[in-house]
A = this chain, B = another copy of it.
């Protein structure tokens, strides 16, 4: 957990509320300002400061005369920037982590070899993890890397960042392309994500290239749809302004 013992009181309260919201359902009522003042032994000004950023970020929805509620939609990550799960969760003020980590060096499956532009007999490092934020499972993730990066297996994948480990090995994740679709949770995904089987999953496949344009990583992430969203800025497609993706 992030050490907040020296942080201002409103930041501590904000983090406590974030953890509560992460475990709540959309539309759940939050305690009133007076109740929060009593609960945290804080002034009304401090409680308001704690709530302000949650409202700004769209995590909390205020209804005049009715109170504050957990917003319908979870915060969104920009899909057009390469941001790791951990960095994104920290940006949202949440503590990222991983569970059920499984690392294997094995032969590439056909699609993996194709996406990483490897030969048929090539080996890959396969990393499966369940990504959590403040202890709540958010995503099931399966990443594969060229076998030459077997040094990744030495990384602390529960607490550490794969992208930081890649940079230490001399490979800088630089750009890429994602494909976004949806799926429903099978028994196994439902179990690890702690959602009912048949729940909606947002599925993101990413191929990330290094600083030389060589494929470095092929990752498939399945996010619990009510805990994660993607966001994209777009502009009008004038002729010649962009090529269709492969």
**Number of identical monomers bound together in the oligomeric complex:** 2
Minimum distance in angstroms from A137 CB to a CB of chain B: 16
Q: Which stretch (A94-102, A127-135, A138-146, A174-182) binds chain B?
A: A174-182
Q: Which stretch (A1-9, A11-19, A238-246) binds chain B?
A: A238-246
Partner of A180, one of B175, B177, B180: B180
Question: Does chain B have a CB within 8 A of A200?
Answer: yes
Minimum distance in angstroms from A121 CB to a CB of chain B: 15
CA distance A100 to B231 in the complex (A): 29
B242 touches A78 (CB 8 A): yes
B201 touches A245 (CB 8 A): no
Partner of A79, one of B172, B173, B180: B180
Question: With a CB–CB cut-off of 8 A, which chain B residues contact A181?
Answer: 73, 200, 202, 225, 228-230
A residues contacting B by CB (< 8 A) are: 58, 73, 76, 78-83, 87, 91, 172-184, 198-203, 206, 225, 228-237, 241-242, 244-246
